[in-house]
Amino acid sequence: MTEMTLGAALNSGLRRALADDDKVVLLGEDIGKLGGVFRVTDKLQEEFGPRRVIDTPLAEAGIIGTAVGLAYRGYRPVCEIQFDGFIYPGFDQIVAQVAKLHYRTRGAVKMPITIRVPFGGGIGAVEHHSESPEAYFAHTAGLRVISCSNPQDAHSMIREAIACDDPVLFFEPKRRYWLKGEVSDDADGLPMGNARVLTEGSDVTLVAYGPLVPTALDAAAAAAEDGTSIEVIDLRSLSPIDFAPIEASVRKTGRLVITHEAAQSGGIGAELAAAITERCFFWLEAAPARVTGFDTPYPPAALEDAFLPDLDRLLDAVDRVMGRRNSLTGWKASA
């Protein structure tokens, strides 16, 4: 057990992956000497050399497209996209090639590519540096999409993603890179595809992933002071979604609140709300509630507090599903 930041845990996981399998190669902009703009690849080029940790020319389509070729050749490329908003030049390669090659070749070609994406807001950045594009990828067949929320998961999930024979979009909660926690090599071994129940509760199920997991835990703590018992679930995998623990939880609580920074329409929350309503309709005491970013571009920093779900907005949604007075429906449980 060592205490480290989430960023350092990723660095340590990457180091392990590079050491364990010499087919693992890292590609990205400024990941060599600089160690990445968030230092997640710090010192890895020094340790493993420039053939394993490759500073690429400045082109995301180039990064992903050459990773496809390397994967054809038996490598396990790990691509770093510098910021969420810069993934779009590589979008075509991801959606039209990476995601489909296994299917297209009827299983002959594997695409064990990991695409690391620092995502989300809350760091006061300029345009394109705070986005949450995960739903585009969860909507795309052939990709696995996961997100970590703490150092231990960062460390184990990145290694599992790299070892996975399918392409994995790995969303890193950038504003939590500095979050500290214990990391051990043999954690509980919960596979990256599984959701994790973080706090047991009986009144409301609150599902979050990535950067909003600590916010959800804060909300649960605050609600507990008022006598409301919240079960917080860290989704971890956005595609596929591990519904079993959420179903079990909602059958117990009868109430579901989902939160993410990404826009609401067509988001992960919409999928969860629909699927849980289908599966748990008779157990639901209230309509599932979503607390999300708005259907707007990510705003300039001065407005990001308005945009980002926070403790108060989560508690307002908790009040709503509890049938207490709330901003949306007054005293009623549904609009």
Partner 1 sequence: MSDVSTTHEHTRTSSPAGGSPEDLHPGQLEDIVQLICPDGARTASPGFDPWVADVTDEDLLGLYEDMIVVRRIDTEATALQRQGELALWAPLLGQEAAQIGSGRALRSDDFVFSSYREHGVAYTRGARFGDLLSFWRGTTASGWDPYSIGMATPAVIIGAQTLHATGYALGCKHDGVDSVAVAYFGDGATSQGDVNEAMVFAASFQAPVIFFCQNNQWAISEPVGLQAQRHISDRAPGFGIPSMRVDGNDVLAVLAATRIALDRARRGGGPTFIEAVTYRMGPHTTSDDPKRYRPTGELDEWAAKDPITRLGRLLEGRGVLTEDVATRVQQKADAVAYEMRAACVALERHPDPLTVFDQVYSGPHSGLERQKSQYAAYLASLDGAQS
109 contacts partner 1 (rule: CB under 8 A): no
CA distance 335 to 333: 7
Strand ranges, E, within 217-270: 230-234, 237-239, 256-263
Show the binding pattern over residues 293-322: x = contacts ligand TPP (CB under 6 A), - = does not: ------------------------------
89 contacts ligand TPP (rule: CB under 6 A): yes
Q: Give the active site residues.
A: 129
CA nearest to 235, candidates 179, 197, 190: 197
29 contacts ligand TPP (rule: CB under 6 A): yes
CA nearest to 38, candidates 154, 198, 203, 165: 154
Q: Whose Cβ is closer to ligand TPP: residue 240's or residue 297's?
A: 297
302 contacts partner 1 (rule: CB under 8 A): yes
DSSP character for 297? Answer: P
Which residue has 């994790």 as its token pair? 196
Q: Which of 11, 41, 45, 82 binds ligand TPP (CB under 6 A)?
A: 82
Residues 110-129 that bind partner 1 (CB under 8 A): 124-128
86 contacts ligand TPP (rule: CB under 6 A): yes
Contact 97, 65 (CB under 8 A): yes
Contact 179, 151 (CB under 8 A): yes
Cis bond leading into 240, ω under 30°?
A: yes
80 contacts ligand TPP (rule: CB under 6 A): no
The dihedral sign for the CA sequence 141, 142, 147, 152: positive
Q: Which of 30, 218, 285, 310 binds partner 1 (CB under 8 A)?
A: 30
Contact partner at residue 34 from partner 1, ligand TPP, none, CB < 5 to 8 Å by partner kind: partner 1
274 contacts partner 1 (rule: CB under 8 A): no
Residues 57-76 that bind ligand TPP (CB under 6 A): 58, 60
